[in-house]
Every structure is written in C-alpha cells, then in structure tokens.
Amino acid sequence: MTEPVAEMLSPESLVLANQFLKLFVFVLAGFVGFLVITRVPPLLHTPLMSATNAISAISIVGALVAAGRDHNTVSTVLGFVAVICATINAVGGFIITDRMLRMFKGGGAKK
Amino acid sequence: MIAAAEGVNLGREAVTLVTYLTASVLFILGLKGLTKAETARRGMQYAALGMLLAVVGTLIKQEIVSYGWIAAGMVIGTIIGWPLGTRVPMTAMPQRIAISHMFGALAATLVGIAEYYTHMRSGIGIPRPIMAALGFEVLFGSLTVTGSFMAFGKLQEILPGRPITYKGQNAVNIGVFFLTILMFAYLIVHPDAQVVFYAMIAVAFVIGISLVLPIGGGDMPVVISLLNSYAGLAASATGFAIDNSLLIIAGALDGASGFILSIIMSKAMNRSFGNVIFGAFGAAPESGTAEVVGEMKEISVEDAALQLAYAQRVIVVPGYGLAVAQAQQVVRELADQVERRGGEVKYAIHPVAGRMPGHMNVLLAEANIPYEKLLDMDEINHEFASTDVAVVIGANDVVNPAARTDKSSPIYGMPILDVDKAKAVFVLKRGKGKGFAGIENALFFGDKTRMIYGDAKGTLSKLVNEMKSV
C-alpha cells in the first residue's frame, strides 16, 4: 500500500486541488440559484420544475463525449443510451415548459 | 483529462469553453426570467439557446472522433422527446415530470459508469478525488432513476398510490443506507474495486425504490421536488468527475431549485423532510383525533346554483380532485356565469394542493383563467371573511380548520386556507370519505357548509346549466 501512495501523491493532490476549485464553482452557482429561485412565485412552480429539468439535460455534454470518443464499445453504447435520455429531456423539457408558459396569460388586453 | 495527452487544439478548446460559459449565463438568465410571468417565456428561450450552444460546443471537441452513435442517439431522443413535450396533457404533468427526472438521472448514471469503465480498461487508474465525484454521481443518479420511476408509477396509477409499508421498514432502510456509505468509503480508498462499484449502483437502485414506496399521494409534491434536486446533484457530480464547470453550474441550479421547492412544500404541510420520508403519513390511523360533532348537510344543485347566481364574491378552492375529474374547463364556465351577473371570482391555491408544486396553477391557466386571479394562500386568506360563497372542489386536508384549532390532530399547525370564514361554503366531493391524511374534516360539518356529492366535472356542468336558466 505504501509505495503506490507515495508514487501517486503529487498527481492526486493536483486533482484534489482542482476538485476544490470546482467546489467553489458549485457553491457559488448554488448560491446564485438560491437567490434567483426563492424569487420565483408559486404560480410558476411547475414550469420552474420542468425548466430545471430541461436544464439538467446538460448531462448531454458528458454523454456526447462518452458516445463519440470511440475508446471502447461499452463506453460508446452507454454514451449512446445517455444521449437518447438527455435528448428526450432537452427536447421534451423545453417544449413542454414553453407550452405551459404560453398558457399563463394576464387578464389585461393582451391577446 | 485523457485528451490532454494527445496534443490539444487550443483554438477549438477555447471555442468550446466560450460556448460553455455563455450557456451558463443563459441558464441563469433563463431562471431569472421565471421570477415573473411576463418574462418567463423569453427566459426559457435563452435557456434553450444555452443548451443548443453547449451541444454544438461539445460536438466540435477534439475528443469526439465518431458521430454515428451520437447522431442516432439524438434522433431517437428527439423522436421520443417531441411527443412528450407536445402531446402530454396538463393533467398528467406530475407523472410527466417524474419520468423526466428518471431520464435525466439515467443519463448522468450511464455517463458515470462509462467513465469508470473507460478508466478501468485503460489501466490508468482513478485518482481518489475523481472517484469520490463518480461515486456521488452514480449514487444520486441511480437512486433517482428508480425513485422517479416509482413516483411515476404511483402517479400514473400503475402502482397503488397509498403508502406501502411493512414491519421493520425503517430498520431495513437505515441498514441499506449504511451499507451504501460503507461501500462508497471503501471505493474512495480502493477505486479499482470494480465489484464494489457495480454493487453500490445496485444497492442505490434499491434505495430509490424503498425511498418512494412508503410515500403516499399527498406527499408527492415533496418527493418530486426532492428527486428534482437529486437529479441536479447527479448532473453536478458528473461535472466534478469529467472536469466540466458547465455541468456543475447547471446541476447546482437544478439542485438548489429542487431543494428550495421541497422545503417550501414541507413547510406548507408543517412537517420536516425526515417526517415525510420516514413518516409514511396516514399509513397508521392516528388516534386521539377529536370527534367531530354534527352532520354533513347536503344541498341540491338547483339551490346551489341559485345562491351562486346572486353571489358577489366567490372564491374557488381547487384540490387534487379537480385534476382527477379534469374539471378545469368547467370551473372556468362556472366562473363565467358568476361574472356574467356582475360577481367576482378568484381562486385560492394552497402550496400543496395537487401532486406537485404549482399543479393547480397550470391546470387553471390551461382553462384560460388569467393568472392575476390565481392567488397564493397568504394573498387570499384575509379575503374569505368578505366572501359570499367559497366553492371547494376536491380539496380536503388543506381546508381543514382542525389544523388551526385541534392540537391532537395530526395536521395541527399546518397552514390552511381559511375557507370556514366565508359566509357560505359549497364542498364538491366524490363521497363521504376522508382526506389523504385520513382525518375527519370539521369544515364539512360546519353550519355554513353544504355538500354536493358526485364527480366534480358532472356536478359543475349541472351547476353551469342551472345558472344559465336562473
């Protein structure tokens, strides 16, 4: 156990530092999310949920790489299925959110 | 990370990063748009543009060498996703959302497995900080996959909507939970223990099932929000694992949103997270509930129509029963009749009415009711006292005054709509049964309350017809 640890210490600590940097991004983004989302009125809570769902289809970025980097068949196939799932959410999610939001009409002169 | 060794085209890489940065900003702007109904659509168009940019930015990455599978996947995904966006009726929105949590989480989980497998195969080994991220990714991902599927099953009524419990359930759940933590800890120390990795995924699937099994229909708003949050966290963890800040940001936004919603929902039920998840509310009938005295008084549709016809101020209180009966259009027709005679109609929306946050608002908006008339609990509660008729449609626990007065009631302390303060109350109800929490509703026995039994849609259409001839 001792030698590999000694051998890997420096790259591993580099990776660790990098992960901490990403933790900053995560915490700050979460904070922004908190500030913005607490201001969303209950009226729009369902569209909010379907919108964040569509946005989380951003996993497609990882799926595309897994499906297209051509390293091994397993990765390609898993990536392929992941691309399908993420595309379903991206396409379906944004369409249905828009469909919902289109229904919310004000009482005034608008259309 | 792997690509770094192969001589990266810096220009292309920079373009990709710029699209990611732009997409992050567009996502945040998109959510900001949702803070107002007028700006919401524009906001979501920004977000959709962000998604498109991110996809294009990824496709030009040097790492991607073959496009066949990608194209096939995107075509199939579009073919499935299109009808899910355009065809699903608004009444089916809760299960639609639940199933899309499943797709999102599945994508993240599969990416995690592909990443782990590729690392293992290449023999480079996985640094522990990356392993930790991968672990979170597949854990949150796979428990969300099965959890969302269970939620979907319950909402779609493939599975029984009642809480499913068995003896020693909490003990089993806690056991499984600790087993998972143990496996995860072992993996961080020994990232190449492949059996443990795959076993952990299997156990996380089980957790997802046992998490949602004991949850009843009325608690669904909390669970759906929670799963929303987990799906976001899984996406965020993917970002940590494959070194992608866009994923981290989008996932964190999603995670924050789901978390906030589940807190709002829990508060609206006056319960803690833990209570919702481990409580199996309503599974065991609570004892000590004060007996309600009096009897429920019925009213004929004709008399109700007459009273509504002369009412100046009417508040409609919708509940899950409205969604079940798909009665939103008829509600609108009823409101038109009242308004035609110079009356005023508003709608009182309790935060947990229905099966997901905002459920009632979407349904009523679908029936072309202007959103200014859809009011939150806090906005409308003071108006009940000056209301001539409150019409309760398929809502029960959220209008039970026992929450205010009866300390022995299981729903004591839950914020409710003060329907009992209205001058008259009509309750449209399928039968004489109890609500989701299994408690008698003192409102139904009140002196000012009149019951109209039957399917909400049928009753409402009869009311509309009667009112036309008054």
C-beta of residue A64 within 8 angstroms of C-beta of residue A83: yes
CB within 8 Å: B129 and A29: no
Q: Return the DSSP state at B298.
A: B
Among A11, A96, A105, beta carbon nearest to B368: A105
Mutation choice for A interface testing from B75, B100, B363 by most A CBs within 10 A: B100
B368/A contact by beta carbon, under 8 A? yes
Q: What pLDDT score does B216 carry?
A: 79
Over its C-alpha atoms, chain A yields an Rg (Å, rounded) of 21
CB within 8 Å: B127 and A47: no
CB within 8 Å: A37 and B111: no
Q: What is the per-residue DSSP string for chain A?
A: -HHHHHHHHHHHHHHHHHHHHHHHHHHHHHHHHHHHHTTS-GGGHHHHHHHHHHHGGGGHHHHHHHHHS-S-HHHHHHHHHHHHHHHHHHHHHHHHHHHHHHH---SSS--
CB within 8 Å: A104 and B371: yes
Min Cα distance A28 → chain B (Å) is: 9
Min Cα distance A4 → chain B (Å) is: 11
CB within 8 Å: B349 and A42: yes
Among B84, B121, B231, beta carbon nearest to A92: B84
Sign of CA dihedral A97, A103, A104, A108: positive
Q: State whether residue B207 is helix, strand or coil.
A: helix
A21/B contact by beta carbon, under 8 A? no
CB within 8 Å: B114 and A75: yes
Min Cα distance B281 → chain A (Å) is: 24
Q: What pLDDT score does B8 carry?
A: 65
Measuring CA to CA, which residue among A15, A64, A94 is closest to residue B58?
A64
Which residues make beta-bridge pairs with B393? B318, B428
Element (H, E) at B75: helix B68-86
**How many C-beta atoms lie closer than 10 Å to residue A80's C-beta?**
22
Q: Within chain B, which residues score under 70 in pLDDT? A: 1-8, 276-293, 433-438
B60/A contact by beta carbon, under 8 A? no
A9/B contact by beta carbon, under 8 A? no
C-beta of residue B355 within 8 angstroms of C-beta of residue B363: no
Mutation choice for B interface testing from A1, A19, A45 by most B CBs within 10 A: A45
CB within 8 Å: B260 and A81: no
Chain A residue whose CA is closest to B28: A33
Distance CA B82, CA A53 (A): 15
Q: What pLDDT score does B288 carry?
A: 42
Among A22, A79, A90, beta carbon nearest to B69: A79
Chain B residue whose CA is closest to A9: B127
C-beta of residue B324 within 8 angstroms of C-beta of residue B355: no
B192 catalytic? Reply is no
Among B83, B127, B356, beta carbon nearest to A11: B127
Measuring CA to CA, which residue among B1, B15, B21 is closest to residue B249?
B21
Q: What pLDDT score does A76 carry?
A: 95
CB within 8 Å: A58 and B370: no
B396/A contact by beta carbon, under 8 A? no
CB within 8 Å: A78 and B117: yes
**What number is the ipTM of this complex?**
0.89
Measuring CA to CA, which residue among B142, B325, B363, B342 is closest to residue B237?
B142
Q: Within chain A, which residues score under 70 in pLDDT? A: 1-10, 108-111
Min Cα distance A27 → chain B (Å) is: 8
Chain A residue whose CA is closest to B40: A101
Distance CA B161, CA B153 (A): 9
**Cβ contacts (< 8 Å) between A56 and chain B: which residues?**
104, 231-232, 235, 250-251, 254
Measuring CA to CA, which residue among A21, A5, A82 is closest to residue B125?
A5
- Which one is catalytic: B388, B397, B406, B420? B397
A73/B contact by beta carbon, under 8 A? no
CB within 8 Å: B370 and A70: no
Q: What pLDDT score does B286 carry?
A: 41
For A:36-55, CB contacts with B below 8 A are 36-55
pTM: predicted TM-score of the whole model, two decimal places? 0.89
Q: What pLDDT score does B414 carry?
A: 87
